[in-house]
Structures are given as C-alpha cells and as structure tokens.
Amino acid sequence: MVVAQQQKAGTFQVLVGKIDDVLQYAIGDPLRYLANWGRLYSLWPVHLETACCSVEVGAAAGSRFDIERFGTLEAFGSLRACDLIIVMGTVTRKLAPRLKLIYDQMAEPKWVIAMGACSITGGLYFDSYNVLRGIDDIIPVDVYVPGCPPRAEALIQGIVLLQEKIRRMPTLSGR
Amino acid sequence: MRMTLESEYSPDADRIMAVSLGPQHPGAGHFRIRLWLDGDYVVKALPDAGYVHRGEEKMGEYRNYTQNVPHLERPVILDSSNILFAYSLGVDELMNSKVPPRAQYLRVIMSEINRIISHMYFIAIQGLFLGHTTMITWCMGDRDFWIDLGERIAGARVTFAYIIPGGVRNDIPEFAIEKGLKTCDWFEKRMGEYEKIFYDNPMVHQRSDGVGVLSRDDAIAFGATGTVARASGLALDVRKDEPYSSYSDFEFKTPVLTQGDSWARAYVALLDMRESIKIIRQALKGLPQGPVRLKLGPQPRVPAGEVYSRTEAARGEMSYHIVSDGSPRPYRLKIGVPSAKNLRALPHLLKNVHIADIPVIYWSLNYWPVEADR
Amino acid sequence: MDRAKAIADKITSKHPGTKLEWVKPRRLKVSAPASMIKDVALFARDSLGFDHISTVSGVDWIAKNALEVVYFVGSTVPGQEGFVLALSERVPRDNPVVSTLIGVWRGAEYHERETHEMFGLNFQGHPDQSHLFLPEDWNDLPPLRKDYVSPGR
C-alpha cells in the first residue's frame, strides 16, 4: 500500500518535472532568447577613458571602421543607461577605485571588455609603481582584447565575441 | 570606499557649489576638473591630473637606451614619433653620433605625418565638443589615410617606434613615397573643405570666438607652448628656433594668430597641417640616398653627461633632460611634455566662464592627459 | 656656443657665487647656491630675457647625498628663442628645502609641485604642494628617489 502510494507520488513529481521542462522550452527559452537578442545589438558603453587605447576606440568609432554597424554605440555619458565598460588600457592606482565605483553604479546585466595589454596583465608597465597588473582583480572581465594598442578590427572582434556570449547567456539576469 | 571626501571641498558660501567633472565624463576623459560654481558660472577650477600616471620616468631608469624606445612612445601614441624624436636627439647628442642625412629626412617625414595625425584627432574632438558632428566623422576617417601612410613606412598602426637613437628603424619603401605625395595632394584640397564647414561656420564662431582668451603675456608667464602659444601671438617653434635634423633645408612658416581664443587655437592646428604638408612634400622629393641608421648594438654604452634636447611636437615643445653616468641605463630621464606645460593655463582660463564652455576651452588647449601624466 | 658662453659669463660675473657647469650650442647650465637662486633667476628673467619656463627637473645624487633641482628656462626674446638656460641648485638629501621660484616664473607652479611629489623636495612658499600625479593615499618614499625600488623589480 505504502509502496504504491510512494510510486504514485513519484510519478506525480516526474510529471511536474516534465511540465516544468516543457514550460521552460516553450516559454522560458524563447523569452530568454528574446531578451538577450534585444540586448545583443544595443550595447551602450560607458565613456570611461583610462589610457592610450582610447585613441583606437576613437578610430573604431570613426567613419572608417564604424563600430555602430555591429550594434554598439561609441560612448555614452550616463552610467545608469549603460551596460558595457570598455576598459581602454592601463588602470592606475588612482583610477582603480573610480573604475570599481563606476562598475558598481551600472545596472545589471553588465559586461566588461578589457582592451589592451595593460588592462589584461599590466603590459609594458608590469614594473611600474602606479599601475595595476590587470583589472580582473577588481572587476570581472568578459572579453579580453589583446594588443598594444589593439587595432580597431581587434576591438570589433572583441565586441562580436561579447555578443556571442550574450546570445548564450543562460539566465535572464546575466548572473 | 567613498570617493567624495567632504574635506576635499570647501565651499566659500552657501551659493557656491562644488562639482567634480570627470574622470567619467564625456567632456573630460581620464582627467578631472574640480569646479566651484556660482549658478552657471565657474568661480574656480582646479585640474586634477594623474589618472594615467604610469611612472615612465622611473621605468626609464630600469631599462637601457634601446629598451626605452617602445614604452616612451606610449604616453602620446597620437604623436608617437615626436616624443621619440626628442629622446633620440638627446641620446644622439650624448653619444656624439652623426645621424645619416637620409635618416634625418625620414625622421622629419615621420614627425610631420604624426603631427597631422595628432592635429586631426584634436580638431575632430574639438568639433565634437562644439556640437559639430560632421567634423569628428570626417576627421576620424581622414586621419586613417595618414595612419595608413605611417603604417606603410613603419609597419604599425599608431605606435610606430620609428625614430630610434642613431637613425630610423627601417628604410622607406618605394611605393610609400608615391603614396605619400598622393596623400599630400588629396589632403591639401580636403583642408579647404574643413575650413568651409568648420572654421567658417557661424555656429562654431559663436561658440568659440572670445571663449577662453589667453593673452600673450599670460602665455609667456605660464610657459605655454605649441598651438596654445602660437594662437596667442607667441611665435615659438623649435623647428625654426634651433633647426634640428635638417629642418633648415625646408621652406615653411610658423603660423601665428593673435586672438588667443578657442577658435584660434583650433585654427592654428589647421595652419600647422598646411605647413606640414609642405615639409613632407619637400622631404619626400629631396630624399637623399644612403644608410638610415647607425649600428649601435643591443646595449649601447652612452658616455657620462647631461643633455637637454627638445623638438617641436604636435602639442608644443617636447623636451628631455637625460643624465647619463656612463652605464647602459639613463641615470635620470625627465620627459618635459607640452601638455604638462600648457596645464597651468587651464585654471586661469576656466575663470568666470559658463559650464557649457568648459569642454571647449579644455580641449582647445590640446591637452592629452596620458601625455601630461606620463 | 660663443653666445651661450657670453650669457653664462654675464651671470657668473654679476653673481660671483654661481658656477658655470657646462655650455653647449644654445644650452648653458649654471648652478647657484640655494640662498641666491632667486636673485639669479630674477636677473636671468629681467636682464637676459629668459622668461619662458620650459620645465623643472630633479636629480637624486644619492652617492653625493644631494638632491638637485634644475629649472630649464627658454626665451621669447626675438633672436634668442633657441637658447635654454638650466639653472640648478643642490640641497642635502636629509633636509631638502628650497625656495619656490613661482614669483619669477608663474608657470613653474605645477612643475615644482611635480618635483615635490617625485623627489620629496620641499618648496618653501609654494601655495599648494598636494599630489598632482601620484594617488591621494601615496605613503611611500617619493618614487623618483634612487632608494625607492618599484614593486615590480
């Protein structure tokens, strides 16, 4: 008797699990896909220049490379509307707390591109007294774009990689 | 961590508001200006630099004279040849080396190409800060033709590392000479269009005429150089004053304006580029034959001594104070960058101006924070 | 070279305590004791036309236990633009106090501020010697002193 009841409850739970799966596939996934698709091609980067790589971001935003073709604005003033930080090069000890503060003020979901050797490992400035050896100690990095400075094409590739990552993001919140 | 310490701001009266402009602000990248405002007017402004201070001078003491080449151009990759030019001149002088004439001409060519690249970025962003979007689109696109030319000569996109102690790194390829002359012809016509759409634009005149006027006396007292000094009627040009590296062979003028306002500072950049075109054309046509660099070896020994070398970079006088004690590494390497020399004028110019004029004045000083901080 | 030498002679004959360090084409370096550097600077500005401050540099002579401040001053006088006067003074490392020259060349303000934070030189009479390039919370030795070793080394 007890065994039969347990079997019955077991099948019920399996049924609930199945319905959950079906709902996930039928509603959740399309919804997630839709939301992520909406985020993909409207990345708003923060206007935070940290060092000399900003010249190449400027070139990428210029009319030759035109980064807007790939669904990214050039740079934007208000943090609250932004969802992407491109860390353009060296982060010094003076800038590091500001960078963290800026990252914390942005709304979720948010992504970080570390551009240039300096923001990845410290680059040429590995033995300087005022330079952070990579920014991943203070904020999580999604895409690394190596180079010193990276060419504009490399930055575009980094953004396309980030879009690929956003497309496959498993949850709606991004975390 | 709280960034805005109360003690940092000391408002004089209730009506004075203290505001921090930057480092995350579209009008001031990697730089902060501390402002004290009375309504819409700036009462006092203090620049807060150092967000990109990377300790180049200390690093220079750890590396030998050849290893110093790549990191010394990083402070101003807009103008990477000119910052290395002064360094190379200083090391050449210390080592008493005679640079071959072809290398001297190639140095001049690359330095002038870089001047154009730097000025194009300057007037592009000046256009953006004045609300003139055409200028940034045009200039950023046209700048790439010059970067391409530099890439054909030196091999890298912006960090050319072309001018090195003892000459230049490699010879100019034959097709780059032809391409360079073509680019000069095209660009000369193009600059006329800039003048029509930007410099003669009534909107641009209204927003930058008489904004941030630096008098000639103040320019001398603050030690302003380059475009800032020349827009204030101060005819300073190291290329003319001490013709280094065969600049005496070329015919060119030093453009000087007397208005001293933001418009004049932007216009001097255009006039500068006209002269650069002339120099590039003369140098490409009269390029002498011969070797392009001296053999120095991987770790050149530099005799003990002290040197103060300077060149005219895009932003002004670029100078190096190099002290050598006879070892392969410099004992002291001081980079005197034009942005740091012009920085003193900023708090003076930002008095009693509207908030809306701050970006215009700030950028018209041709200030590049990475260069100033080193 | 001759002209630079002539300028140097004018300084050394007017101020007997000063010493000509070296002279090169369009360059001359004069060292002065800390007590009379202001007079020499005023003389160079008013009588010799060195009115355009170029930069201020410092050198740490650790073996001689001295800190050196060098003012590089250009000129805007027509015909003399290419000349640069290097005016230097040396102070002991353990008591690095010099007097500011802002009163002579206003543009020296930020250069002196930078030299202060990089070498720990104390410019007496300087209105603001807070950090210009170093972080606000820097509490180590001044970085350009020779006994400061960069953490990456």
Kindly list the partner chains of chain A, i.e. chains with 3 or more CB atom pairs below 8 Å: B, C
How much is the average pLDDT of B187-194?
A: 90
Who has greater pLDDT, B111 or A23? B111
| pLDDT of res. A174 | 54
| pLDDT of res. C93 | 87
| pLDDT of res. B8 | 44
Range of the domain at C33: 2-96
Spell B255-265 as b/e; 16+ CB within 10 A means b: bbbebbbbbbb
Global ipTM: 0.90
Structure confidence by residue, pLDDT tens digits, B200-254: 888 888 888 888 888 888 898 898 998 999 999 888 888 888 888 888 888 888 8
How much is the average pLDDT of B275-285?
A: 90
| Residues in chain C closer than 8 A to A127 (CB atoms) | 150-153
Distance (Å, rounded) from C-alpha B318 to C-alpha B320? 7
- From the list A46, A62, A94, the residue facing B51 with the nearest CB is A94
- Nearest-by-CA chain A residue for C151: A129
| pLDDT of res. A107 | 83
Closest CA to C6 of C70, C66, C85, C108: C85
Structure confidence by residue, pLDDT tens digits, C76-125: 888 788 888 898 998 998 888 888 888 888 888 899 989 998 888 888 88
Distance (Å, rounded) from C-alpha B94 to C-alpha B306? 7
Of the pLDDT bands very low, low, confident and very high (cuts 50, 70, 90), residue B321 is very high
The count of C-alpha atoms lying within 13 angstroms of the C-alpha of B148, restricted to the half-sphere facing its C-beta, is: 13
Of the pLDDT bands very low, low, confident and very high (cuts 50, 70, 90), residue A172 is low
Interface mutation target, options C55, C90, C113, chain B, most CBs of B under 10 Å: C55
Torsion of CA B195, B199, B201, B202, to 10 degrees: -150
Asked if B50's CB is within 8 angstroms of C131's CB, the reply is yes
Asked if A92's CB is within 8 angstroms of C135's CB, the reply is yes
Confirm whether C21 is domain-assigned. yes
Asked if C143's CB is within 8 angstroms of A129's CB, the reply is yes
The domain limits of chain B are: 6-48, 56-346
Interface mutation target, options B51, B58, B63, B373, chain A, most CBs of A under 10 Å: B51
Report the 10 Å Cβ neighbour count for A105: 13
Distance (Å, rounded) from C-alpha A77 to C-alpha A55? 18
Asked if B344's CB is within 8 angstroms of C109's CB, the reply is yes
Beta pairing partners, A45: A84
- Nearest-by-CA chain C residue for B225: C54
| Residues in chain C closer than 8 A to B341 (CB atoms) | 54-55, 107
Please give the full DSSP string across C65-130, using - where no structure is assigned.
TEEEEEEEEE--STT-TT-EEEEEEEEETTS-EEE--TTT-TTHHHHHHHHHHHH--EEET-S--S
| Residues in chain C closer than 8 A to A93 (CB atoms) | 135
Interface mutation target, options C133, C138, C146, chain B, most CBs of B under 10 Å: C133
| pLDDT of res. C72 | 92
Q: What is the mean pLDDT of chain B?
A: 86
| pLDDT of res. B2 | 36
Q: Looking at the predicted structure, is the pLDDT value of residue B293 above 60? A: yes
Kindly list the partner chains of chain B, i.e. chains with 3 or more CB atom pairs below 8 Å: A, C
Confirm whether C58 is domain-assigned. yes
Q: Looking at the predicted structure, is the pLDDT value of residue A117 above 50? A: yes
Confirm whether C110 is domain-assigned. no
Q: B266 is written with which tokens? A: 């932007």
- CATH number reported for the structural domain that contains residue C37 in this entry: 3.30.460.80
CA of C17 vs chain A CAs: smallest distance (Å) = 39
Report the 10 Å Cβ neighbour count for A64: 17
Closest CA to C141 of B325, B330, A129: A129
- Nearest-by-CA chain B residue for C22: B306
Pairing assessment for the beta strands C19-24 and A111-115 based on DSSP bridges: unpaired
Of the pLDDT bands very low, low, confident and very high (cuts 50, 70, 90), residue A33 is confident
- Nearest-by-CA chain C residue for B226: C54
Please say whether the beta carbons of B345 and B365 come within 8 A.
Answer: yes
Of the pLDDT bands very low, low, confident and very high (cuts 50, 70, 90), residue B7 is very low
Q: Looking at the predicted structure, is the pLDDT value of residue B170 above 70? A: yes
Distance (Å, rounded) from C-alpha B235 to C-alpha C79? 11
Confirm whether C62 is domain-assigned. yes
- From the list A92, A127, A133, the residue facing C153 with the nearest CB is A127
What percent of chain B has a predicted confidence (pLDDT) above 70? Answer: 95
Q: How far is CA B259 from CA B172, B191, B266, B315, in A?
A: 40, 21, 11, 18
- CB-defined contacts B:C, below 8 A: 93
CA of B308 vs chain C CAs: smallest distance (Å) = 8
Amino acid at B24: Q
Confirm whether C119 is domain-assigned. no
- From the list C76, C114, C132, the residue facing B236 with the nearest CB is C76
Who has greater pLDDT, B116 or B6? B116
Structure confidence by residue, pLDDT tens digits, A5-29: 777 777 888 888 888 888 777 777 7
Interface mutation target, options B5, B30, B31, chain A, most CBs of A under 10 Å: B30
| Residues in chain A closer than 8 A to B124 (CB atoms) | 58, 62
Please say whether the beta carbons of B289 and B55 come within 8 A.
Answer: no
Confirm whether C10 is domain-assigned. yes
Asked if B341's CB is within 8 angstroms of C107's CB, the reply is yes
Amino acid at C112: E
How much is the average pLDDT of B155-160?
A: 87
| Residues in chain B closer than 8 A to C144 (CB atoms) | 57-58
Residues of A with CB under 8 A from a CB of C: 92-94, 122, 126-130, 133
Does the structural domain B56-346 have CATH classification 1.10.645.10? yes
- Nearest-by-CA chain A residue for B23: A48
A138 touches chain B (CB under 8 A): no
Q: What is the mean pLDDT of chain C?
A: 87
Asked if C52's CB is within 8 angstroms of B236's CB, the reply is yes
Of the pLDDT bands very low, low, confident and very high (cuts 50, 70, 90), residue B119 is very high
Q: Tokens 């003399």 map to which residue? A: C80
Q: Output phi, psi for B56, to 5 deg.
A: -60, -35
- From the list B49, B62, B220, the residue facing C76 with the nearest CB is B220
* 3-state SS, residue B68: helix
Please give the full DSSP string across B152-221, using - where no structure is assigned.
HHHSSSS----EETTEESSPPPHHHHHHHHHHHHHHHHHHHHHIIIIIT-HHHHHHHTTSS---HHHHHH
Q: Output phi, psi for B48, to 5 deg.
A: -125, 95
Asked if C57's CB is within 8 angstroms of B321's CB, the reply is yes
How much is the average pLDDT of B178-185?
A: 90
C82 touches chain B (CB under 8 A): yes
| pLDDT of res. A173 | 60
Q: What is the mean pLDDT of chain A?
A: 83
Instruction: Give the global pTM.
Output: 0.87
Asked if B49's CB is within 8 angstroms of C144's CB, the reply is no
B146 touches chain A (CB under 8 A): no
Q: How far is CA C126 from CA B83, B314, B337, B342, in A?
A: 30, 31, 22, 19
Sign of CA dihedral C96, C102, C105, C106: positive
Please say whether the beta carbons of B121 and B136 come within 8 A.
Answer: no
| Residues in chain C closer than 8 A to B310 (CB atoms) | 54, 84
Q: Looking at the predicted structure, is the pLDDT value of residue B3 above 50? A: no
Interface mutation target, options A91, A94, A95, A98, chain C, most CBs of C under 10 Å: A94
- From the list A97, A149, A151, the residue facing B77 with the nearest CB is A149
Amino acid at A18: K
| Residues in chain A closer than 8 A to C136 (CB atoms) | 94
Task: List helix spans (H) across chain B.
Answer: 56-62, 68-72, 80-95, 101-129, 133-154, 174-194, 202-208, 216-222, 226-231, 238-241, 262-285, 338-342, 345-349, 358-364, 369-373
A154 touches chain B (CB under 8 A): no
Structure confidence by residue, pLDDT tens digits, A58-83: 888 888 888 888 888 777 667 888 88
| Residues in chain C closer than 8 A to B240 (CB atoms) | 81
